């Protein structure tokens, strides 16, 4: 039998994000500082270090020291992340608007696919938005139907770890901590590039209400 | 007098129950649709003070007392009003206590009884309204202001609730228990009402209010977080629309890579089996057992293609069967007749049988084994072949030889 420590170590070395939704036991294990310390020592041997983001909600392994090889990996990774930002952001907005409660998706929140589908099918604006999102290279859907586009989107999002499908027989998806990671990335870009995204949105909203 | 009051009250309540659906309709829609009811009913309700016309041209509305009654009894979450006029309630309590003490002092016991009943009523209604206010706040918190849709509206509702809590807290500070206890003096009844009952209500309400306040702040924090996130998303989309060529610079090429963009790639590969480990023996055996032996036929694909099945030919199949069965019988008869041992393949060659030699050998074995046991005893069936070159213990049968015992 493998110990919890071994299991969590394996998860981290496989490049998985550990959060309360995806792996509650592992997440609790890493929340304990002495256990995290032990994990850190083992990761250090392999030039990795335990990292967390989103206020300790998400754990993953990062490189301890960066050499030529590591930088190349990170460079590729960043290109992927940057290319995926807009499709993901638009998808998040679509889900938020279509579910009608005006709440952004957060870790642990459930999305009921059939409900979302009816909402989108009944609203032409959402349908257009979905079509646009599905055509991004990240999702790469060729389907013309809402059903096919949504299925492709959710399949891809489950693959890259933003969603989790706890019961394969039900069309209910849970958002994982990676969604929080995405927000963190956005916030970082916003701050570093001083884009003041929030202010832009607020101004646009005010202008919209004036019109 | 009290008989008149009783009669009037009964009339009022009867009218309310008779026109219950009209009242509820006004409660839910806000105004009365005058075409839906008769003028007599409207007149009657107006006379009883259940509905009223705020302005000459305005529509008929429910009186606030009736509305309050309904909101309180139905636990309606739309009820956002907090009645926090504790100062005047306390003043009236003191006045009534004064009346009571004076009446007692002059020995007017029936009058004093009336005053103490009034006082009791006031104290209980005060504690009740305090508890009600807290309950109203809680019910709004518990469904996270679910009755308004947007986050901005929720934040406004939250701010309203917070101001109501602080208002309630300042009002509650008006409780001066030293003054109340002085007013009560040594009178047991008064002390019980003014000091014990009020103090209990006071401590309960302050405790609950502090919980309410904490929950409200927590909710406000969450709503602000949500709003921040939504704005971030919308702002990003907006920014991309205005600057389509915007690409964030590659942070991974910085000398100090932010941890957010430092994700180690996966390292784990599959482990290999250790055949020398005794602990794994049973598992490995089970794995080997599941390996399928592949028997590939070398027949060209052309022949294996799905073709048209000629139904007319199907009747030939049993004929072939019969032919083989006959040949087996002949083979057995020849052995009996000649009394010599003969292998199946030799007979096959002799008779130039039109079938696969392997099929033939199987038919012979089958023919031998399908004989009754006493008949089998007359024959001896030997197998010719050689052991498997690699896997010991396996014997490959090439031919069978039949003879008489």
Q: How confident is the model over B341-369, as pLDDT tens digits?
A: 888 888 888 888 777 888 888 888 888 88
The reply to whether residue B248 touches residue A102, judged by beta carbons under 8 angstroms, is: no
Q: Is the pLDDT of residue B297 over 70?
A: no
What span, in angstroms and rounded, lies between the C-alpha atoms of B270 and A14? 11
Residue whose C-alpha is closest to residue B127's, from B189, B203, B65: B203
Token reading at B62: 């429910």
The reply to whether residue B266 touches residue A15, judged by beta carbons under 8 angstroms, is: yes
A103 vs B contacts (CB less than 8 Å): 151, 226
Nearest CB to A13: which of B151, B253, B266? B266
A15 vs B contacts (CB less than 8 Å): 263-267
* Pair A202, A191: CB distance under 8 Å: no
Report the pLDDT averaged over residues A63-90. Answer: 87
A199 vs B contacts (CB less than 8 Å): 235
Scan for tokens 């199987």, then name that residue.
B362
Residue whose C-alpha is closest to residue A78's, from B257, B245, B246, B250: B250
What span, in angstroms and rounded, lies between the C-alpha atoms of B123 and B89? 9
What span, in angstroms and rounded, lies between the C-alpha atoms of B288 and B284? 6
Tell me the count of A-B CB pairs closer than 8 A: 134
B238 vs A contacts (CB less than 8 Å): 197, 200-201, 204
Residue B231 distance to chain A (closest CA, Å): 5
Residue A66 distance to chain B (closest CA, Å): 9
**pLDDT reported for residue B295:** 67
**B80-110 pLDDT, tens digit each:** 666 667 788 888 888 888 888 888 888 888 8
Q: Is the pLDDT of residue A160 over 80?
A: yes
Residue whose C-alpha is closest to residue A170's, from A118, A120, A112: A112
Q: Is the pLDDT of residue B30 over 80?
A: no
Nearest CB to B231: which of A70, A73, A198? A198
Q: Containing H/E element for B175?
A: none
Residue whose C-alpha is closest to residue A74's, from B76, B252, B21, B297: B252
- Its sign, for the CA torsion A93, A99, A105, A111, is negative
Q: Is the pLDDT of residue B315 over 70?
A: no
CA A209 to chain centre: 31
The reply to whether residue A63 touches residue B239, judged by beta carbons under 8 angstroms, is: no
Residue B156 distance to chain A (closest CA, Å): 15
What span, in angstroms and rounded, lies between the C-alpha atoms of B24 and A49? 65
Percent of chain A with pLDDT over 70: 98
CA torsion angle for B212, B214, B216, B219 (degrees, to 10)? -140
The reply to whether residue A75 touches residue B267, judged by beta carbons under 8 angstroms, is: no
Q: Is the pLDDT of residue B314 over 70?
A: no
Residue A202 distance to chain B (closest CA, Å): 7
Nearest CB to A71: which of B151, B232, B252? B252
Long-range CB pairs of B24-27, under 8 A, 24+ apart, other chains included? B24/B70, B26/B51, B26/B60, B26/B61, B26/B62, B27/B62, B27/B67, B27/B70
The reply to whether residue A62 touches residue B235, judged by beta carbons under 8 angstroms, is: no
B186: left (phi over 0), alpha (psi -120 to 50) or beta: alpha
Q: Is the pLDDT of residue B310 over 70?
A: no
Residue A147 distance to chain B (closest CA, Å): 25
Report the pLDDT averaged over residues A16-40. Answer: 88
**pLDDT reported for residue B309:** 65
The reply to whether residue A78 touches residue B149, judged by beta carbons under 8 angstroms, is: no
Please state which of the ranges B60-69, B100-109, B121-130 shows the lowest mean pLDDT.
B60-69
At B366, phi and psi to the nearest 5? Answer: -60, -45
**B237-259 pLDDT, tens digit each:** 888 888 888 778 888 777 788 88
The chain B residues in contact with chain A (CB within 8 A) are 149-151, 226, 228-240, 247-253, 257-268
- Which letter, b or e, does each residue of B224-239 get, where b requires 16 or more Cβ atoms within 10 Å of its Cβ? eebbbbbbbbbbbbbb
At B52, phi and psi to the nearest 5? Answer: -155, 165
Q: Where are the domains of chain B?
A: 1-74, 76-246, 317-404
What span, in angstroms and rounded, lies between the C-alpha atoms of A42 and A26? 16
**pLDDT reported for residue B278:** 83
Residue A11 distance to chain B (closest CA, Å): 9
Residue whose C-alpha is closest to residue B147's, from B134, B165, B160: B160
What span, in angstroms and rounded, lies between the C-alpha atoms of A27 and A10? 13
pLDDT grade, residue A5 (50/70/90)? Answer: confident
ipTM: 0.84
B270 vs A contacts (CB less than 8 Å): none
**pLDDT reported for residue B226:** 86
At B144, phi and psi to the nearest 5? Answer: 50, 45
Helical segments of B243-343, H only: 281-289, 301-304, 316-338
pLDDT grade, residue B128 (50/70/90)? Answer: confident
Q: Output the CA–CA distances (angstroms, integers) from residue B126 to B73, B120, B133, B202, in the order listed.
A: 17, 10, 11, 10
Q: Containing H/E element for B62?
A: strand B61-62
Architecture in CATH of B76-246: Up-down Bundle (1.20)
Q: Is the pLDDT of residue B214 over 80?
A: yes
Residue B45 distance to chain A (closest CA, Å): 40
Strand A163-164 and strand A172-175: pairing? Answer: antiparallel
Nearest CB to B264: which of A15, A53, A199? A15
**pLDDT reported for residue B81:** 63
**pLDDT reported for residue B311:** 65
* Pair B232, A197: CB distance under 8 Å: yes
* Pair A186, B229: CB distance under 8 Å: no
The reply to whether residue A74 touches residue B268, judged by beta carbons under 8 angstroms, is: no
Start-to-end CA span in chain B (Å): 133
* Pair B379, B402: CB distance under 8 Å: yes
Higher pLDDT, B113 or B147: B113
Percent of chain B with pLDDT over 90: 0
**pLDDT reported for residue B19:** 85
**pLDDT reported for residue B82:** 64
The reply to whether residue B236 touches residue A81, judged by beta carbons under 8 angstroms, is: no
Report the pLDDT averaged over residues A117-144. Answer: 86
Residues sharing a CB contact under 8 Å with residue B73, sequence separation 6 or more, in sequence order: none
Mean pLDDT of chain B: 82
Report the pLDDT averaged over residues B151-163. Answer: 87
What span, in angstroms and rounded, lies between the C-alpha atoms of A139 and B12? 68
Nearest CB to A77: which of B231, B263, B267? B263
E strands, chain A, where?
A: 18-19, 48-53, 58-63, 110-112, 163-164, 172-175
Q: Output the CA–CA distances (angstroms, integers) from residue B13 to B7, B17, B66, B76, in the order listed.
A: 10, 6, 11, 21
Nearest residue of A to residue B265, measured between CA atoms: A15
């Amino acid at each position: 039998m493998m110990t919890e420590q071994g299991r969590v170590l394996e998860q981290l070395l496989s490049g998985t994000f550990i959060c309360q939704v995806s792996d509650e036991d592992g997440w609790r294990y890493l929340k304990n500082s002495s256990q995290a310390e032990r994990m850190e020592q083992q990761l250090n041997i392999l030039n990795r270090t335990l990292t967390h983001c989103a206020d300790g909600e998400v754990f993953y392994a990062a490189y301890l020291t960066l050499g030529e090889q590591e930088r190349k990996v990170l460079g590729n990774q960043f290109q992927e992340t940057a290319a995926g930002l807009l499709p993901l952001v638009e998808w998040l907005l679509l889900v938020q608007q279509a579910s009608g409660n005006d709440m952004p998706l957060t870790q642990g929140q459930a999305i009921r696919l059939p409900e979302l589908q009816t909402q989108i099918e009944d609203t032409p604006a959402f349908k257009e938005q979905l079509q646009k999102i599905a055509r991004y290279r990240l999702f790469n859907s060729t389907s013309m139907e809402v059903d096919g586009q949504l299925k492709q989107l959710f399949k891809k999002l489950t693959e890259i770890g933003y969603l989790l499908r706890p019961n394969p027989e039900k069309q209910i998806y849970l958002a994982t901590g990676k969604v929080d990671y995405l927000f963190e990335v956005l916030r970082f870009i916003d701050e570093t590039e001083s884009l003041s995204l929030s202010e832009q949105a607020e101004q646009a909203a005010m202008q919209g209400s004036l019109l | 007098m009290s008989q008149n009051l009783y009669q009037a009250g009964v009339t009022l309540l009867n009218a309310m129950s008779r026109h219950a659906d009209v009242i509820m309709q006004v409660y839910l829609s806000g105004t009365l649709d005058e075409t839906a009811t008769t003028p007599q009913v409207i007149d009657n309700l107006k006379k009883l003070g259940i509905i009223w016309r705020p302005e000459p041209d305005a529509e008929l509305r429910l009186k606030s007392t009736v509305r309050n009654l309904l909101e309180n009894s139905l636990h309606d979450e739309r009820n956002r009003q907090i009645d926090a006029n504790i100062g005047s309630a306390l003043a009236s309590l003191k006045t009534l206590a004064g009346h009571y003490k004076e009446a007692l002092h002059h020995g007017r016991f029936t009058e004093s009884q009336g005053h103490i009943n009034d006082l009791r009523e006031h104290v209980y209604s005060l504690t009740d309204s305090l508890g009600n206010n807290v309950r109203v706040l809680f019910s709004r918190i518990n469904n996270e202001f679910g009755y308004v849709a947007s986050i901005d509206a929720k934040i406004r509702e939250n701010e309203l609730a917070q101001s109501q809590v602080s208002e309630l807290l300042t009002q509650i500070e008006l409780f001066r228990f030293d003054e109340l206890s002085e007013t009560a003096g040594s009178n047991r009844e008064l002390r019980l009402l003014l000091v014990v009952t009020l103090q209990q209500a006071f401590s309960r309400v302050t405790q609950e209010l502090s919980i309410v306040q904490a929950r409200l702040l927590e909710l406000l924090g969450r709503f602000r977080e949500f709003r921040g996130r939504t704005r971030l998303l919308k702002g990003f989309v907006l920014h991309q629309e205005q600057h389509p060529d915007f690409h964030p610079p590659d942070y991974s090429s910085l000398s100090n890579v932010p941890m957010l963009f430092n994700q180690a790639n996966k390292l784990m590969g599959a482990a290999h089996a250790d055949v020398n480990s005794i602990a794994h023996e049973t598992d490995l055996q089970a794995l080997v057992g599941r390996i399928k032996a592949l028997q590939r036929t070398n027949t060209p694909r052309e022949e294996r293609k799905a073709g048209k099945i000629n139904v007319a030919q199907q009747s030939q199949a049993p004929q072939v069967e019969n032919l083989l069965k006959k040949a087996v019988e002949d083979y057995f008869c020849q052995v009996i007749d000649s009394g010599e041992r003969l292998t199946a393949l030799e007979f096959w060659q002799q008779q130039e049988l039109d079938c696969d030699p392997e099929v033939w050998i199987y038919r012979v074995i089958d023919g031998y084994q399908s004989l009754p046991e006493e008949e089998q005893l007359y024959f001896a069936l030997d197998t010719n072949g050689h052991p498997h070159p690699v896997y010991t213990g396996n014997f490959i049968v090439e031919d069978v030889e039949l003879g008489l015992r």
